[in-house]
Structure 1
Amino acid sequence: RHFNLRMKRDTSLFTEDFKIEISGETVDYDTSHIYTGELYGEKGTLSHGSVIDGRFEGFIKTHRGTFYVEPTERYLKGRALPFHSVIYHEEDIYYPHKYGAQGGCADHSVFERMKKYQNSAVKEPTPQETIEEHKDHDSPVILRKRRAAQADKNTCQLYIQTDHLFYKYYTTREAVIAQISSHVKAIDTIYQTTDFRGIQNISFMVKRIRINTTHDEKVPSNPFRFPNIGVEKFLELNSEQNHDDYCLAYVFTDRDFDDGVLGLAWVGAPAGSAGGICEKSKLYSDGKKKSLNTGIITVQNYGSHVPPKVSHITFAHEVGHNFGSPHDSGIECTPGESKTLDQKEKGNYIMYARATSGDKLNNNRFSICSIRNISQVLEKKRNNCFVESGQPICGNGLVEQGEQCDCGYSDQCGDECCYNANEPEDKKCKLKEGKLCRKLSTFCSPSQGPCCTPQCTYKPSKEKCRDDSDCAYEGKCDGKTAMCPTSKPKTNFTACNRNTQVCING
């Protein structure tokens, strides 16, 4: 069939204060290669992916199932072919490990060890936590008000790290970011369309990405540098970092873990044990401080690449653990094990213990068992770290509606022209006009864009602010604004993508 996609740049998956680190160095990065849209003329469809070197990679959800588009070299390496991409339907996925006794999540004994560790926290509650508990106990009216106030706090902000093996597989930072975006969009679609007993529109945004490239393979500061790390140890290495600033923190890798394990995460609970969404760093009985709002996933299984569909469901599954759901059990919540054919054909739900193919009716849904558990954790914990989506936030490093500039908080701001977010309400995120004795229209803040100097003046026209690409010339400042103007497109029919395609309108 012919796919007519209408897509536009998608920044909704990244927070306003989105930061990216490459090999430990924070860099300015443009996510303009990430797109979301739909099939033209077909309402209710969804397309998401990236355009890198003129090639689209991603997924297309139609009324007849989901199609996936990937580069040919991912499956047909070292062969000269007359086409650059493969497209296939989700039902075409042959994944021999998905129905086996092994593969997917870790076995019961691993979770028992993890549960025991979660109950070993020795950190005493802070005075504020004690006050909150007292309020909850004595003031039911206040508690009801708090629940009403948190109704719009529905966004879980993520920190995603990738190790050098993940980078080695995908080869470029653009491709790595595209994979992260694709995974987050996939789970965002699932969670947003699930009603967790009245709690709706749960969404995800990436707040920070750290990419460990192949140059970090032997760098001592890279905790994931070792080639042979078991899945439990790999999760522990992630948990040993402080992730207090995030709802959840994940590491993506390309490792072949024992027993076909695709992912592992700490299970959240409404109360009584540590772990899951919004969990803060604590001291545990082994003398280590850990953040248990963490998880890991791998895109390799038994020596083979995991198809995107399976990997997306794996991510949704592990995040489901963080949200408070154990593995599905019982007749009601494991229909794929049913002896009744029509029930069996619908397949198992997301939180089934083993990896599913993703093409069955229930594979992309949460069971009633999961919804019951997750809703309890969301009710109790989301107010601790979930945020309102789409609201301007002074201090996030992005200039939004109502702000003149945004250089972050006092410990982050190195900007001579902008009041930081710790300043009084009437000053923060405003330009320091009086200090520089210039008119507001003649100076800028580097937080506004790459065409502003640290001395708060516009860079001269013709100064480079964006690299050229196959189909567009390098971007140049115009001397009138801090933003980098749109790049001029190269002539139509200019050869691109290793001379396999041509450019049209940039």
Structure 2
Amino acid sequence: MWPAGSPTALATATTVAVFLTVVVGKFGRISSTPVQQPGKLPSLNHFIKHYTPAEYDRDGLLEQHRRMRRDAGVSNQQLQQLQSPLRLTIATPHRTFKMLLTPDQKLFADDVVFEGSSDRPIPFDPGKAYVGTLEDEETVTVRGIVTSDGLFDGTISTAAEEFFVEPSSRYGDGSPLPYHSIVYRLSDVDGPKAAGGGCRSEALRGRRSAENGHADAERLVNQTYDTEGVILVRSPNGTIVNRSRQSASSKTSVPKPNWYDPNDQRKMTGAGDEASSNLVVDDSGSYDPFESRKKGLGGFVDNRKTTCMLYLQADHLFYEKYGREETCIEVMTRHVQRVNAIYRNTDFNQDGKPDNISFMIKRVKVHSNPDPTYKFLGNYGVEKFLEIFSEEDYDAFCLAYMFTYRDFEMGTLGLAWTGDLKNAGGVCEKNGHYRGSLKSLNTGIVTLLNYGKHVPSAVSHVTLAHEIGHNFGSPHDPETCTPGGDDGNYIMFARATSGDKKNNNRFSPCSLSAINPVLNVKARSTRGCFTEPQASICGNGVVEPGEECDCGWEEDCKDACCFPQRRYSRPEEPPCRLTANSVCSPSQGPCCTNDCNLKIGDLCRNDNGCRDASYCNGMTPTCPASINKPNKTVCNEEFVCYMGECTGSICLAYGLESCQCLPTPQDSPTKACELCCKLPGENQPCLSSYSWNNVPYDIPDMYSKPGTPCNDYNGYCDVFQRCREVDPSGPLATLRKLLLSEESIASFKKWAIDHWYYSGLIVASFLLMLVRLTFFLYLPNNLNSIIRIYNIIFNV
């Protein structure tokens, strides 16, 4: 209530009126960030529905990372420090992750090059990438990057959920968040709503084929060939070859670009016998698909060739978003790291085991300061942007990708040339003529901007995996391979997926059938561009393929069961091999004793409430998988188990769904923080656990734990069971509520009516101030006019 009739009240009212005019008028659209609070917070942006702050020791993480670095001149003491895994503990309101991390040695090629504009070298440490697990849960996989700011950017993949840890600086819409990192779940992410899920690789192909298909066919029809004994075969560099015993002449043409036609869902195999009139080839030093088909695809597949070498680029807009070349490289590296997690575990040839297809970064370029040769300053559409990027020669690479921060038409997130056995384009395609110039069609692009919003990693990582799927030969999944339902759709589904379902990060049988023959002929054949993976690194403390054990370097190894890595190896002690008479090594797992024998009956994994304890079985040095307790088993009082994790609401145990009660003015202040459930289905009432008292819904009366979202995710429950609102407008909203709420406005109106003379004085003072301000502002230019007006008004 405004105090009545005092000079102080008058001065206060005048000051507030002016203050509100300036502040609200100037800053009315500024949205402050809420103060850091425990619990899951409301929507972060258009994609991330909920998130929580992440707390960890940045300085300690950066210091550990620096100790992990190694070069040729390090001392034995540093080598000893190197072998200790990097330990990182990330605390969130609902869970603490204790990680054990080792360097990811399979992400960068040995001769990787990092360069900026004008081919200037960029100093970048490839040892930033890490892989590992959790201390108390070996089945969990952790992958990530330690950034130059001492932050962890990575994913934690459990059986039930995938968690993303990211620097908060990527979000906030210009207003920095009050915590350095955030954590969100894959199930908290909404994918893009654009038609086609943000991918136009097929839709554009239909239009492009209509533009060029007829002209190409006409051009080929008008050309003459000696058809007797002629075999037409295609290789990537753009000419068509006459493979006859009588003639070796060749003629050139323009291949049809391979944008997939959505209406053409024919199964692609390598067993065609007819030559296609739109296939264009030059056989100088390139593979021969016909020969592979003639002798059988299986005979030419080199199963050792599993690695695709990448060339990654970032344009000037991507650099402007992240501000530093090093940060750009870190973000692109994370994309490749997660794509590897998807592709390595995929069985493309469907022989019952993963094919270990993976990607290594061979060259990276960040266009931080565009030079005269830079081509991407214009405001290009997505198709034109890909064509310009494809004008360079990328023959030395399996695939080349450009990362950008452009808002492409129709919400497009990525675009790539699709590979198959009939048309130019896709994986391993060589530089050749297309549309009047030389182009490399083993390319693709990815943008991290969608309708003005930053695309989170959970979405952009899958975008890259999806576009590479096109490069590898997969069209979008047809209806026969889009099951939907509880398991969800596959990674090549034409539209967006929620990302948290079983199939969302897998390839469908249709995709596998399309990709396998393309890889066999273009990538894994004798002349294919895939390479053999680099050898395992003995001495890094990680048992890798080809190693029996790995206890590190001799300065660090305390394992009598395993020969360590040495600077000068001894023939009788081959490194990373078991010593004589050793059955196992502790480096292989927790079920091996220090005297090199297998343990039997020893506890190797504790019961976590949702997963039974596990005991060594005397057959393997690794800890046997634990048996998950039944889903809906109550854990931590108000949660239930799901897939061995304590993540579900207790409502699920009673066949109900979790919800948030919205209190009315008559309810108690604690109503919003009572644990609430509702019957499955739409439009069902949300009731407190205090109201579910009848069998079979006799739910224990309880409150939500502190930090739990409440009031439709607009607040969080505190330790007093009160819902504390988190206002995204911050302090300005508090001031606005104080001064401009209905109660405040009503009070001010009553005061203004009761004291009308003060109101008139305020208005007159305000007008006088405006006149005098005008006088001073325009005095130099209109002195005489202002003086006359002033004299008239004030009768001077």
In the superposition, the TM-score normalised over structure 1's length comes to 0.69
In structure 2, what is the Cα distance between the partners aligned to 1:240 and 1:44? 44
> 2:319 matched to 1:167?
yes
The correspondence for 2:205, drawn from 107, 111, 123, is: 111
Matches within 5 A, 1:314-333: 314-330=463-479, 332-333=480-481
Counterpart amino acid of residue 2 in structure 1: T
**Percent identity between the two aligned chains:** 45
Q: Return closer, same or farther for 1:345/1:8 CA change in 2, 3 Å cut-off.
A: same
For 2:453, the equivalent position in structure 1 comes to 304
Q: CA deviation at 1:49?
A: 1.7
Q: Secondary structure at the match of 2:121?
A: strand
Aligned to 2:331: 179
Alpha-carbon distance, 1:70 to partner? 1.5
Pair 1:155–1:299, CA change in 2 (3 A): same
Counterpart residue identity of residue 275, structure 1: G
Q: Match for 2:355 among 194, 200, 205?
A: 200
Corresponding position: 1:269 with 2:420 = yes
Distance 1:28 1:75 in 2: 27
Letter in 2 for 1:64: A
Q: Which amino acid aligns with 1:375?
A: N
Partner of 1:355: 496
Report if the CA contact (8 A) 1:102-1:259 is conserved.
no
Asked if the contact 1:223/1:237 (under 8 Å) is kept, the reply is yes
Q: What is the CA-CA distance between 1:11 and the residue it aligns to?
A: 3.1
Give the structure 2 partner of residue 230 of structure 1: 381
Query: 1:387 Cα shift?
Result: 0.2
Please give the alpha-carbon distance, in whole angstroms, between the structure 2 residues aligned to 1:122 and 1:133.
11
Give the drift of 1:317.
0.5
Aligned with 1:253 (options 380, 404, 407):
404
Q: Deviation of residue 223 (structure 1)?
A: 1.6
Q: For the residues of structure 1 that align with 2:255 and 2:323, how far apart are their CA atoms?
A: 37
- Aligned-partner residue type, residue 483 of structure 2: P
After superposition, give the CA deviation of every residue in 1:266-321 in whole Å (9 maximum; x if it has no partner).
11002x2111111000112x221111001001011111011111111111110000
Residue 50 of structure 1 pairs with residue 153 of structure 2: no
1:335 equivalent to 2:483? Answer yes
**Structure 2 CA distance for partners of 1:302 and 1:81, relative to 1, 3 Å:** closer
Q: Which amino acid is the alignment partner of residue 281 of structure 1? A: N
Tell me if structure 2 keeps the 8 A contact 1:334–1:352. yes
Equivalents in 1 of 2:450, 2:291: separation in Å?
49
The answer as to 2:372 corresponding to 1:220 is yes
Q: How far, CA to CA, are the matches of 1:134 and 1:294 in structure 2?
A: 24
Kept in 2, the 8 Å contact 1:38–1:47? The answer is: yes
8 Å contact from structure 2 (residues 289, 521) kept in 1 = no
Shift of 1:169: 1.1
Kindly state the Cα deviation for residue 26 of structure 1 after the two structures are TM-superposed: 3.0
Task: State the SS of the aligned residue for 2:307.
Answer: strand
Partner amino acid for 1:119?
A: K
* 1:370-449 → structure 2 map (5 Å cutoff): 370-382=511-523, 383=525, 384-391=528-535
**Deviation larger for 190-199 or 300-309:** 190-199
Deviation of 1:21 (Å): 0.9
Match of 2:736 in 1: none
Give, in whole Å, the separation in 1 of the partners of 2:458 and 2:381: 24
Corresponding residue to 1:290 among 419, 428, 439: 439
Task: Tell me the equivalent position of 1:453.
Answer: none
Size of the alignment, in residue pairs? 371
Quote the offset at 1:254 in angstroms. 0.7
Tell whether the 8 Å contact from 1:247 to 1:278 is kept in structure 2 after alignment.
Answer: yes
- Which residue in the other structure is 2:128 paired with? 33
Does 1:211 pair with 2:380?
no
Equivalent residue of 2:139, what SS? coil
Match of 1:125, as an amino acid? D
Report how far residue 71 of structure 1 moved. 1.8
Q: Does residue 12 in structure 1 map to residue 106 in structure 2?
A: yes
Contact residue 292 and residue 300 of structure 2 kept, 8 A: no
Residue 283 of structure 2: aligned partner: 126
Change in Cα spacing, 1:211 to 1:129, as seen in structure 2 (3 Å) is closer
Give 2:515's aligned amino acid: I
| Superposed CA RMSD | 2.3
Rounded to whole Å, the distance in 2 between the matches of 1:80 and 1:110 is: 38
**Aligned 8 A contact 1:231 1:264 in 2:** yes
State how far apart, in whole Å, the 2-side matches of 1:92 and 1:16 are: 37
Deviation at 1:60, TM superposition (A): 1.1
What's the secondary structure of 2:127's corresponding residue?
Answer: coil
Q: Aligned pair in 2 of structure 1 residues 101, 135: CA closer, same or farther (>3 Å)?
A: closer
Contact 2:255–2:279 (CA under 8 A) maintained in structure 1: no
- Residue 79 of structure 1, CA deviation: 4.6
Structure 2 CA distance for partners of 1:357 and 1:114, relative to 1, 3 Å? farther
CA distance in 1, matches of 2:284, 2:196: 46
Counterpart check, 1:155 vs 2:251:
no
Name the stretch that deviates more: 82-91 or 105-114: 105-114
* 3-state SS in 2 of match to 1:220: coil
Q: What is the rounded CA distance, in whole Å, between the counterparts of 2:164 and 2:400 in structure 1?
A: 27
